[in-house]
Amino acid sequence: MTKTIMVSNQKGGVGKTTTTLELGAIYARKGKRVLIIDLDGQVNISMYVNAKYDDKNIPTIRDVLLEIKEIMNHLEAEAEKEDDMQDDIITRSIQTTGEGFDIIAGHRNLSNALAEFSDTTDVFLLKELISCMEDYDYILIDSAPARSPLLNMGYVAADYCLILTEADKASQDGVKQVVTDIKLLKKNKMSDISILGIVLNKNEDLKNQEEAYKDLCAFGKTNHCMPFTTIISKAAGATTAKNMYKSIHAYRDTKGVDKRSIQGILNDFENLADEIEQRILKIER
């Protein structure tokens, strides 16, 4: 059964895209079928894996969502024809990457989501798309930080939410905003999403880490979203890998790379991937 995980925080720069990329690469290397959906108008993850996000012949996530919206507005009598149209654009939108997972690329105009997806029912468009993706083991959604219809689409479509944060207060405030939004959607019976937990990312200061982790534990206990045991360390290799359009795992295999310098962060992401699977198993028992 497909597990859909949204990686989120309403503050930018906390490592959502890097984490989505690394988890996708790790699960793909484990033999899992993985799809990443780039729901961020910055299209960073699309660029990092050399996906085509500006090719008129390859639909982006924006194109797919707009097509599904048009189809859902048609009369039911046209349902069979519409299903064929929907399947066609979805198939054409999926790109295979060198990392071993598939991706539906983002689009720069996703920043216009408020104008393009303003109807009340638009919040269910991504869920409709994901319902057609039963062949995947994992679908990972890389979300934009700003509040928008796309953010709520992700919360409605996903089974689980993984919240990223750094140790600073602004990042932790972003965590609280995510939890508040999810609680509201669940209260209104619009989403069944479960929060897997909070990931403390880009750690480089032990004292700040300990204080932040303590605060996250206190928040997690009262809001049912405990932080993960795994803490992601900060490493220069992560930035270098992105600049080379590679995951850290693929970067490690590049000739001339000092593998020891990035082994720590590699271990962190692998441990996080394992811990995510364990938490999902616990929830689904």
Q: Quick one: pLDDT band at residue 277, thresholds 50, 70, 90?
A: very high
pLDDT, tens digit, 9 for 90 and up, residues 227-270: 999 999 888 778 888 888 889 989 988 888 888 888 999 999 99
pLDDT, tens digit, 9 for 90 and up, residues 174-192: 999 999 999 999 999 999 9
Eight-class DSSP state of 38: E
Q: What are the tokens at 152?
A: 């709520």
Assess contact for 254 and 262: CB atoms under 8 A: no
Q: Quick one: pLDDT band at residue 77, thresholds 50, 70, 90?
A: very low
The region of weakest confidence among 73-77, 156-160, 181-185, 194-198 is 73-77
Q: Is the per-residue pLDDT at 81 higher than 60? A: no
Q: What are the tokens at 95?
A: 């790109």
Q: What is the predicted pLDDT for the residue at 113?
A: 84
Collapsing DSSP to helix, strand or coil, 221 comes out as helix
Q: Is the per-residue pLDDT at 135 higher than 90? A: yes
| Separation CA 246–CA 21 (nearest Å) | 9
- Looking at the whole model, is its pTM more than 0.75? yes
Q: Are strands 3-8 and 94-96 parallel, antiparallel or unpaired?
A: unpaired
Q: What helix, strand, coil percent values describe the chain, rounded to 5?
A: 55, 15, 30
Show the domains of the chain with their CATH numbers: 3-284 (3.40.50.300)
| Separation CA 117–CA 239 (nearest Å) | 34
pLDDT, tens digit, 9 for 90 and up, residues 111-122: 888 889 999 999
Assess contact for 99 and 241: CB atoms under 8 A: no
Q: What is the predicted pLDDT for the residue at 24?
A: 98
| Separation CA 215–CA 32 (nearest Å) | 34
Mean pLDDT, rounded, for 118-133: 94
The β-bridge partners of 34 are 138
| Separation CA 196–CA 163 (nearest Å) | 8
Closest among 226, 223, 123 to 179, alpha carbons compared: 223
